[in-house]
Amino acid sequence: MGTRRQAREWAVQFLFQRDFNPDDLDIALEDFWCDKTPDPRARMFTETLVRGVETHRGALDDLIQKYAEHWDVKRMGAVDRNVMRIALYEMLHCDDIPPIVSIDEAVEIAKAYSNFESGRFVNGILDRALQDIHRSHREAGGGSGKDGT
């Protein structure tokens, strides 16, 4: 498994946990890493995703709500919701990651951690969001990313 895939999966796990236990972020992250031995790059990318999602959570949830017709974000499955938050954060704030990669990763993680139908659900919402994002769908932006990823 690639470093970034593992980091995304850890970010989903952490954010899922955080939905139910919104403790201090730094303490929660330290506790999260206690039983893991991540590659330093994987840990850094995980924490970048987690901190980015936490910083932009309201705006990300507003976008999910906008594209999820007839679905309330709070009533979505926690895995699906957090997978989409991460993908949207990447699509909007990580110029070095092509948006199509973020969507593909989100769909695969949703299928692995939720169910097969979740993959279709996540794909549909993120595809709608992609239409409003003004950057190449298949190419990275060329920089190191707005948030250092």
Do residues 57 and 84 make contact, with C-beta atoms less than 8 angstroms apart?
Answer: no
**Assigned domain for 136 exists:** no
- Per the domain annotation, does 109 fall within a domain? yes
pLDDT value for 40: 94
Query: What integer is the mean pLDDT of 96-106?
Result: 96
Has residue 135 been placed in a domain? no
In percent, the amount of the chain with pLDDT more than 90 equals 74
Total structural domains within the chain: 1
| Structural domain contains residue 36 | yes
Are residues 89 and 56 in contact, defined by beta-carbon separation less than 8 angstroms? yes
Task: Please give the model's pTM, rounded to 2 decimal places.
Answer: 0.89
**pLDDT over 70, % of the chain:** 89
pLDDT tens-digit series, residues 10-30: 999 999 999 998 889 999 999
Please state the rounded mean pLDDT for residues 55-75: 93
Q: Which domain holds residue 17?
A: 3-130
Which pLDDT band, with edges at 50, 70 and 90, does 137 fall under? low
Identify the pLDDT of residue 138.
Answer: 62
Whether the pLDDT of residue 140 is over 70: the answer is no
- Residues whose CB is less than 8 angstroms from the CB of residue 45 and which lie 6 or more positions away in sequence, other chains included: 3, 4, 7, 149
| Residue 68: inside a domain | yes
Is pLDDT larger for residue 108 or for residue 141? 108
Sign of CA dihedral 21, 113, 147, 58: negative
Residue 140 lies in a domain: no
Contact indicator for 91, 130 with CB cutoff of 8 Å: yes
Average pLDDT over residues 29-52: 95
Q: Quote the tokens at residue 102.
A: 């973020």
CB 84 within 8 Å of CB 127: no
pLDDT at 147 > cutoff 60: no
Q: Both tokens of residue 72?
A: 């309330």
> Residue 85 corresponds to which amino acid?
R
Question: Residue 147 domain-assigned?
Answer: no
**What's the CATH number where 12 sits?**
1.10.940.10
Other CB atoms within 10 Å distance of the CB of residue 2: 9
